[in-house]
Amino acid sequence: MDLCRFFQTFTPAQQPTNLREFVAPSVTPPVYSAGSRKHTIADAVLGTGRYHTHQRQRVCSAKATSTQRSSPFSTLLDWGQQGATKLSRGLQPFPAGFPAGPSGDQALQLLADPLGYLDRITQQYGPVVGLVLGGEYVVVVADVAAARTVLQDQTGLFVKEGTAFLPGSSLAGNGLLVSDGPVWRRQRQLSNPAFRTAAVQAYAKAMAASAQRLVSETWQGSRERDVYADFNALSLQITMEALFGVDLPPREGRQVTEAVKAAFDYFSQRGASSMVVPEWVPTPVNVQFNAAIITLNRLVYGMISQRRMQLRQQPHPPVCLLEELITATDERGQGMEDEALRDELMTLLIAGQETAAIALTWTCAYLAHNPAAQDSIAAEVQQHLHGQPPSYSNIRGLVGVESALLEGMRLKPPAFIVGRCVSRPTELASCRLPAGTTILVSPYILHRLPGRWRDAAAFQPDRWHHQLQESSGAMGLLPKLAATGAYLPFGAGPRSCIGTGFAMMEASIILAAILQRYQLKPSRVQPSFPTADPQITLRPQEIVTLSVESRP
């Protein structure tokens, strides 16, 4: 990777928003406000992203937008000026009161080894480090109190809008992950019911059925499996069923799955590439990606209108997330418009799919390399479930399974960095931060602070037993830990993960189903522990092959 990758993210202001605007303006009416396009660390964290910082203007006309575009010349000039400002930052001293940190632009060093770099600078400069990265002022936060201040802010001081780095995407539009202010508040309020316990209980049926298919069909007769690939396929299937219901017509289901896969492939390629070409540039890969977006839009808008009609003609309690979101209303009795629904559905697909697969992959890899811990958890599963398949009704109380997942996410948090932007000048940890500074809170470092965690680098699921028992399980414990700022796999504060209950239920059911039937061991072809590949999320670098032996 090189500096190009960073500089490629500083796309010119007011460019055409994406290929869709050129090739298929009628598929959806994406009418955007003019304004500079910045990127959000939500992209970095969860593989998604808003296309630019300004909220979409859903009401203004396309004509208005097109007249607001600047000429290619002024765009280029603007871009040049922005580039020059950013370049000069790496050469200048930090602003007065800015946190101490290494001098010079650190983009190359960070990109060469992100986890090692975060570790090194926080050891060298302390838990709040100032940097220039790709011409942006950045503060890395690995201090519990400062992380709390940033993530639990309710005053609009630390926001998502304007957070630097990594290109955004038209895939998730302006969904929950990236929106801010009143738009986010309303969308979160409307989405919350879809994630309450009762709703998660309904999705658990799909989780349990999919987990059984994995262990009794997919893995049946296998000696070794690429668990990362299996968990990705499984969590996509589960999320699709939860979103659209099990009665999703097979043809449409297949088409959506294929389009989502194409979009995900695009993100992995982009993550692994040193050059990030903006989505609107018609490279072959971008054309493919944008075609996938067009397919997704057609299908998703089709499903939205079909479900709306069904609910109107035959009112019934919601059976899937889409119906939950369609029926949700705010205090004025208003629901979500189609475009907002589409953005939320795509956001949930992206935010929910890969993160859960990564968490399961790392946890299974750790268990394979820690046979004693695995055997004791497997014994608990046998004892607790009495041979019944894991499901919503019997999964509670499996302390070992929850401990393994919490410990896996402690050492390898799928969202290893969470980002915010300082909206107005402020102080943090006695340092002064100018508006526009990007804050990177690092759960990865926080989860390994030697003063907080005994044997911080070791996989020891039993460290969680007592706390889990005291809090009646992970869903009781996680909010308490998030409030301290010390354990943040699902973030903290108002923007914490809406899918925490969904993810914990899904991962617990799948892990219990696996340990009930199989013993995981390092594979002969890949005996060493998988290496992390911190791209957008903390995914494994390669295929994760584990030996899967049936338990007697």
Residues annotated in a binding site for heme: 497
Binding track, positions 399-418, relative to ligand HEM; x by CB under 6 A: ---------------xx--x
Is position 232 an interface residue for ligand HEM (rule: CB under 6 A)? no
Is position 473 an interface residue for ligand HEM (rule: CB under 6 A)? no
Which residue has the CB atom at the shortest distance from ligand HEM?
A: 499
Is position 498 an interface residue for ligand HEM (rule: CB under 6 A)? yes
Contact 24, 294 (CB under 8 A): yes
- Phi/psi for 417 (5° steps) reads -140, 140
Write down the least CB distance from residue 152 to ligand HEM, Å: 11
Considering only the stretches 68-76, 130-138, 352-360, 390-398, report the one whose residues sit in contact with ligand HEM under the rule CB under 6 A. Answer: 352-360
CA distance 410 to 445: 10
Rank residues 111 and 351 by Cβ distance to ligand HEM and give the closer one.
Answer: 351
Long-range contacts of 497-501 (CB under 8 A, 24+ apart): 497/351, 498/176, 498/188, 498/191, 498/192, 498/195, 499/195, 499/348, 499/351, 499/352, 500/475, 501/195, 501/197, 501/200, 501/475
Select from 34, 110, 142, 176 the one that contacts ligand HEM (CB under 6 A): 176
Is position 489 an interface residue for ligand HEM (rule: CB under 6 A)? yes
Is position 502 an interface residue for ligand HEM (rule: CB under 6 A)? yes
Sign of the CA dihedral running 12, 13, 14, 20: positive
Contact 2, 274 (CB under 8 A): yes
Contact 365, 544 (CB under 8 A): yes
Contact 99, 30 (CB under 8 A): no
Select from 44, 111, 177, 505 the one that contacts ligand HEM (CB under 6 A): 177
Site for ligand HEM in 236-265 (CB under 6 A): 239
Strand partners, 441: 141, 418
Is position 491 an interface residue for ligand HEM (rule: CB under 6 A)? yes
Write down the least CB distance from residue 124 to ligand HEM, Å: 26
Rank residues 359 and 404 by Cβ distance to ligand HEM and give the closer one.
Answer: 359
Contact 468, 403 (CB under 8 A): yes
Write down the least CB distance from residue 360 to ligand HEM, Å: 8
Enumerate the known binding-site residues. 497
Rank residues 215 and 356 by Cβ distance to ligand HEM and give the closer one.
Answer: 356
Is position 352 an interface residue for ligand HEM (rule: CB under 6 A)? yes
CA distance 497 to 43: 15
Is position 505 an interface residue for ligand HEM (rule: CB under 6 A)? no
The tokens describing 109, both together, are: 């060093």
Rank residues 152 and 288 by Cβ distance to ligand HEM and give the closer one.
Answer: 152
Is position 442 an interface residue for ligand HEM (rule: CB under 6 A)? no
Site for ligand HEM in 33-92 (CB under 6 A): 42, 45
Is position 188 an interface residue for ligand HEM (rule: CB under 6 A)? yes
The tokens describing 282, both together, are: 């018609």
Is position 348 an interface residue for ligand HEM (rule: CB under 6 A)? yes
| E strand or H helix that includes residue 3 | helix 3-8
Q: Which residues contact 260 (CB under 8 A, 6 or more apart)?
A: 236, 240, 292, 296, 349, 353
Pairing of strands 532-534, 224-226: unpaired
Considering only the stretches 134-142, 206-214, 355-363, 389-397, report the one whose residues sit in contact with ligand HEM under the rule CB under 6 A. Answer: 355-363
Residues near ligand HEM (CB under 6 A) are 42, 45, 176-177, 188, 239, 347-348, 351-352, 355-356, 359, 414-415, 418, 489-491, 495-499, 502-503
